[in-house]
Structure 1
Amino acid sequence: MMKQSNDIKAGIIVKTRFIDKTLQKKDEKAFESYVDYLDRDEAVRKQHFNEFSLYNDYMDNPEKMGTLFTEQQDSLSKEQKQKIKELFKKAFDNDSIMWQTVISFDNRYLAKMGVYDPVTKTLDENKMRECTRAMMKTMLDQEDMSMSGLWSASIHYNTDNIHIHVATVEPNPTRKKRNINGKLRPQGTISPKTRQAMKSKVVNTILQADREMMDEIVRNKIIRGKNSVWSFEHPKLARRFVKLYRKLPADRRKWFYNMNAMKPFQNEIDDMTRVFVRIYYQKEFAKYQRLLVREQETFKEAYGENSKADDYAKNKMNDFYQRMGNAILKEMREYSKIIHSPAPQAWP
């Protein structure tokens, strides 16, 4: 067993390559092997695993391979497997590209995220399938194959890393052609933008629970709370409200946090946000900050040290202040309409 270092270099790695059976005989054989692979029962597939070249680069321990699953099915019946085989064979006959995608996890990262128990070696396979389906939807959508692409996948276990392997084809190819040595061939390359989006989708799906909790705190508690509590209900907020309101430009259409006209006032708006949070939501905001720090660390582990994860918490806080700022400016617009109406109403 390969000894792992103490640091998690990259908790999640996503790689994609393609097979074009019209270019090389070995690719044709690999494509055919996968069709055969689909047609065998689990025991035989494991017994004859080394005969199938499709996964030999990645799958070191076929005895711990999971069952095949697809976009709709968690496992395939004999009839469903036969249908997949027929569609892959049709794709092969129609000169489709076959894309091989591998999602590789550092098991310690999965354990940290509560998806894997290293003691019992139990994996949350539902979460893994959810990650795969979200990732593949992103790939097919961004590569204009959402109506033409077909994929099947398998989770593979070993002592060092858990992998998910996905094979994708187009039974009726739609990919643009490229000229290779005077011949038109299907375009197999997946764009860097798509590959990055695929990994982001896996990471975000893993982090979904924390994201939902953070969104609950910001959107459904703090922001909603600001929209239901008038600044004039507390003297510290009231003083800041009036002081800022008197400085704003006359045109209320410019009273939005990120508009250029508001740039000179953003510090004062942010100060109102901080005061509001301290008065009404100090505990909730402290929890939000703890989740944010944890998420940034797990985000960094997912992408590796050379990622832009250090900007994540900063960007999330900027977004929070923007949301709160717009809630405050909305209150000011409503206040302005009331006091300038023909028959002024009493401000709550």
Structure 2
Amino acid sequence: MTIPAFVLKSEFELPGTNAKGYAGIVDYMTDKEKVKKGEAYNTPDYFPEGILSYMSDEKKASGLFTKEKDFVDKNSIRELKESYQQAEQNGSLQWKFVGSFDNEWLKENQILDPDGEVREQTLKKAVRVMMERLIKEEKFIPSQTIWAASFHHNTDNLHFHISLVEKENSRELVKRRQKKIEKTLSPTGMQTRFYRDQGAESLQPKGKLKQTTLEKMKSAFLNELTRPSRKQILEKQTALRDTLVQELQLPQETFTERKELLRILQVLPQDKKKWQYKTISREHPIAKERIDSYTQRYLHNSGNKVAFQQVLKEEARFRERLYGGNHNYKENQMADLEYRLGNRLLKELKVQLEEKNKLRSVSRILQKNQKEDGTSEIRFTLRDRRRLDRVMGDTYQKKLNLLYYDQNEREAEYVRHRQEYGLE
């Protein structure tokens, strides 16, 4: 399986479960022995106490940044800690995120230079977009949320930490068993933390984020990060897809296609409001099968299909490298095209039937005029034309012009015949 270019992990912390609090103690990460020890066990999976102090440690990071500030100075850090402490006192949770990169992928996308220089402004912009998505998906109140982040360079792979709290808890309260954080040393001497069950239940804010939220956060981050470099290929993909859809037009169908269209019409519901591909797929499987057969035959004969599939293949390879594994991107895009073509075909069928119905209306008007005049001659007056204009509408002007032309030809032929026989 392909190693993903970016991994995002999260956890939450309950108020009062960490003896050093949300804000932590700056001395924890400035002690030389702990810094040295910390370098040995600091990985993107580990969340040490004092997240703010840890993130702002200049030996490990390039400094804190927030939604509004690219760099948080010492005075602002002090204010930030006070806000975190207040949030904890108000019963809010703290959410912690770690995003880790494959450095080779960063180099391939010109985010990390060979000499180790990082385009942090680009990364910061993507982090802000990601946090906006988190706030939206989890329905946090923007004015009540505080978050800070920092990029760290002290491991093999560049990674970032983010910490978020609410000034006042807005999360649903749920029953949970009380737990207490305890620490222990592994056989290798690494410090680990675990929660020990205290047995009693209490109401606590719901901290677990939806899995879809984490996926959307990751997508928002990566889309923002890669959009400039992928803009051209994605625009080409969209243009090819739209062309394939727009080129499906029924007036040019062959005799074989007309038979297939008739078979589709035979199984469509009478209510044309249901002529939507989603509804047809759900309620009329035979109609869906025939629609798909028609659109697939159309695609097979289209000159743009190969070009579209080639672009999809290229984008699928890029996304496989980005997310790791196979995410069925090409298959999903082809399914989306099938959906669009199905709706296009149903729309064209509906328009064609409406045209035929309006042409029948034209025929009935002409026949009515003949009976009223009591003559075998077909007369087409200005009044008739105005009435037909109202019936047909401007979009059918070409068909009306053809009708006028045929009418005039018949009248001219009638005059020639009378002249040949000396009747005029």
TM over 0.5: yes
Deviation at 1:128, TM superposition (A): 1.7
TM-score, normalised by the number of residues in structure 2: 0.62
Alignment-derived partner of residue 412 in structure 2: none
Q: Give the share of equivalent positions with the same residue, in percent.
A: 23
Alignment-derived partner of residue 31 in structure 1: 23
Retained in 1: the 8 A contact 2:7–2:101? yes
SS at match of 1:22: coil
Deviation at 1:169, TM superposition (A): 0.5
Alpha-carbon displacement from aligned partner over 1:79-112 (angstroms, at most 9, x marks no partner): 6555534422321332322211001111122233
Alignment-derived partner of residue 258 in structure 2: 242
1:172 and 1:198 map into 2 onto residues whose CA distance is 23
Retained in 1: the 8 A contact 2:24–2:50? no
Alpha-carbon displacement from aligned partner over 1:205-260 (angstroms, at most 9, x marks no partner): 34435765455335445425753784546xxx555653433222263444433413
TM-score, normalised by the number of residues in structure 1: 0.74
Alpha-carbon displacement from aligned partner over 1:36-61 (angstroms, at most 9, x marks no partner): 99xxxxxx9899994983459x98x9
Retained in 1: the 8 A contact 2:5–2:102? yes
Alignment-derived partner of residue 269 in structure 1: 295
Note the aligned Cα RMSD (angstroms): 3.9
Retained in 2: the 8 A contact 1:273–1:324? no
Retained in 2: the 8 A contact 1:31–1:92? no
Deviation at 1:141, TM superposition (A): 2.6
1:300 aligned to which of 300, 320, 323: 320
SS at match of 1:123: coil
Q: Mark the runs of 5 or more structure 2 residues left unpaired by the alignment.
A: 39-47, 179-199, 363-391, 403-424
Number of aligned residue pairs: give it: 319
Matched residue type, 1:323:
R
Q: Mark the runs of 5 or more structure 1 residues left unpaired by the alignment.
A: 1-6, 38-43
2:83 aligned to which of 87, 92, 98: 87
In structure 2, the CA distance between the partners of 1:19 and 1:127, relative to structure 1 (3 Å rule), is same
Alignment of 1:187-336 (within 5 A): 187-209=206-228, 212-213=231-232, 215-220=234-239, 222-223=241-242, 226-227=245-246, 230-232=249-251, 238=254, 241-249=257-265, 251=270, 252-258=272-278, 259-260=280-281, 261=284, 262-265=287-290, 266-276=292-302, 278=303, 281=304, 286=307, 288-305=308-325, 309-336=326-353
1:19 aligned to which of 4, 13, 24: 13
Matched residue type, 2:70:
D
Matched residue type, 2:330:
A
In structure 2, the CA distance between the partners of 1:211 and 1:270, relative to structure 1 (3 Å rule), is farther
In structure 2, the CA distance between the partners of 1:220 and 1:8, relative to structure 1 (3 Å rule), is closer
Alignment-derived partner of residue 160 in structure 2: 164
In structure 2, the CA distance between the partners of 1:241 and 1:149, relative to structure 1 (3 Å rule), is farther
Alignment of 1:58-207 (within 5 A): 62-63=58-59, 65-76=61-72, 81=77, 83-112=79-108, 114-147=109-142, 148-158=144-154, 160-177=156-173, 178-179=175-176, 180=178, 181-207=200-226
Matched residue type, 2:214:
R
Matched residue type, 2:235:
E
Tell me which structure has the larger Cα radius of gyration. 2
Retained in 2: the 8 A contact 1:19–1:31? no
Alpha-carbon displacement from aligned partner over 1:286-336 (angstroms, at most 9, x marks no partner): 2x434422332333334333xxx2422111111122223322332232222
Alpha-carbon displacement from aligned partner over 1:109-139 (angstroms, at most 9, x marks no partner): 2233x14244133333233223322322232
1:161 and 1:304 map into 2 onto residues whose CA distance is 16
Alignment-derived partner of residue 41 in structure 1: none
In structure 2, the CA distance between the partners of 1:249 and 1:170, relative to structure 1 (3 Å rule), is same
Which one has more relative contact order, counting CA pairs under 8 Å at least 6 apart? 1
